Amino acid sequence: MTSANLLGSWVRRFLLEHVIAERNLSKNTQRSYRDTFSILLPWISIHSRHPIDHLCIADLSSGVLKAFLDHLEHERHCKIRTRNQRLAAIHAMARFVAEHSPEHVAWCATIRAVPFKRFHSPQLTYLEKPQMDALLAAPDRNTVLGRRDYTLLLFLYNSGARVSEASSLPINKLNLRPNAMSHVEIFGKGSKTRRCPLWAATAAELLSLTRNRSSDEPVFVNRHGQAITRHGVHRLIKKYVRKAMAPCPSLANKCISPHTIRHTTATHLLRAGVDINTIRAWLGHVSIDTTNIYVEIDLERKAQMLEKTNALHSNPVSKRPWKDNPSLMAFLRSL
C-alpha cells in the first residue's frame, strides 16, 4: 500500500503541515485536533481489525464516521457540541487530503457530507452580585492557599479571562502600579493580546501574591510551584461554590464553572452602562455577535425596558392626528 493511501500518513501531514505550519492554530485547538484522531484511529482499528499503522483512507467511510460519532455520543457520553467539534476536525482533515491528492476528492465529498448535529444552546449562566460576593468571601484568606484562591477568583471576575488564559498567565504580563491604573496583558484566543484594567483591590492582591518571585513564573501556581491547571481551577471553584451555598442558598440552583464567572463579568459590565464594543474588547471576542448574547440573557435590563414600555402604555395618546389631516389622507389615497 502506498503512503498516499495510508490514513495515518495523512493525519500526520494534516497536523504538522496544516494545523501547525500553515494555520498556526492555538495550542488548545492543536490539542483538540490531536485528541480527535487519538480517539478515532484506535476505534477504526478495532472495528476494521486492521493495525493502526496499516489503516487506509477507505477504512474511514461516511458510514464508519457516522458510527464513530454515535459512539462518541452514546458510549463516551460526549455532548453534541463535542461531537460536532470532533466532526469539524475530521472535515478539515478530509479537505486537506483532497487539496493535496485529487484522486481522493470523491472520498472527501462523502466525508464532508456527514452533517453536524443540531442542538439547542443552553441558557448562559451568570451570577447576581450577591452570589458573586458570596463566592469571593468563601476562601479563607488567613491561609496561603486561601489567599491565592481569593486572588484567582477576584482576577477572573475583574478580567473576565478564560480559565486557560488565567492559568497560563506569567507574572511579567502584570503591570501593577500602587498609585495609578494597573492592567494585565492577556494572551488569548486566536493568538491575540488584549489589555484589561485592574481594580485597585485586584492589583493589591496580585502584588502580594507575586512579590519576590521571578517575572517568568506563572501568577497562579499549585502546591508544587507549577502553573495551576484548568482542571485545578474547576475543582477550586466547585469547592468554594459548595462553601458559599450556606450564606447564599440560591447558588445551589446554578451550574457554576470558570466560564460562569466570565459571563458574570460581561453581564455586570453591561448593567454598569459599559458599551457593548468595550465589553467585546474586554473579553477578547472576535465578533460583536458573540458579545450580543449578554444583552439577551440580562433579565434585569429586560425588566427595566419592560417598565419603560409600561410607562409609555400608561399614558396613551387620545388624539389621532392622522385622522385630522385630510390632506395627508387624500395624498395617501392618490398613490
Top pLDDT among 230 and 330 is at 230
Say whether pLDDT at 319 is over 60.
no
The pLDDT > 70 percentage for the chain reads 87
Alpha carbon 335 to its chain's center: 54
Kindly give, in sequence order, each residue whose CB lies less than 8 Å from that of residue 310, ignoring residues fewer than 6 positions away.
none
- Mean pLDDT over 203-226 rounds to 94
Q: The C-alpha cell of 137 is what?
A: 468571601
Tens of pLDDT, residues 74-117: 999 999 999 999 999 999 999 999 999 999 999 999 999 999 99
Lowest mean per-residue pLDDT among 163-167, 208-212, 271-275, 290-294: 290-294
Classify domain 3-112 at the CATH class level. mainly alpha
CA distance 104 to 242: 54
Say whether pLDDT at 316 is over 70.
no
Please return the burial class of 100, using the count of CB atoms within 10 Å of its CB with bins 0-12, 13-18 and 19+.
middle
Say whether pLDDT at 201 is over 90.
yes
- Predicted confidence at residue 335, as pLDDT, reads 52
- Predicted confidence at residue 334, as pLDDT, reads 62
The pLDDT > 90 percentage for the chain reads 69
Neighbours of 303 (CB within 10 A): 9
Cβ distance 224 to 203 under 8 Å? no
Return the active site residues: 162, 189, 259, 262, 285, 294
Query: Which pLDDT band, with edges at 50, 70 and 90, does 323 fall under?
Result: low
Query: Which pLDDT band, with edges at 50, 70 and 90, does 145 fall under?
Result: very high
Looking up cell 485592574 gives 198
- Predicted confidence at residue 238, as pLDDT, reads 96
- Predicted confidence at residue 263, as pLDDT, reads 92
Query: Which pLDDT band, with edges at 50, 70 and 90, does 325 fall under?
Result: low
Biggest CA-to-CA distance, the chain: 88
- DSSP three-state, residue 170: strand
Lowest mean per-residue pLDDT among 39-53, 118-132, 252-266: 118-132
What homologous superfamily is domain 129-299 in, according to CATH?
Intergrase catalytic core (1.10.443.10)
Q: Which helix (H) or strand (E) holds 175?
A: strand 174-175
> Same fold for the domain at 3-112 and the one at 129-299?
no
Query: Which pLDDT band, with edges at 50, 70 and 90, does 178 fall under?
Result: confident
Query: Which pLDDT band, with edges at 50, 70 and 90, does 293 fall under?
Result: confident
Give the start-to-end residue ranges of the domains of the chain: 3-112, 129-299
- DSSP three-state, residue 128: coil
HSE, CB side, 13 Å, CA atoms: give it for residue 314. 6
For all residues of the chain together, what is the average pLDDT?
Answer: 88
Beta bridge partners of 185: 195
- Predicted confidence at residue 26, as pLDDT, reads 81
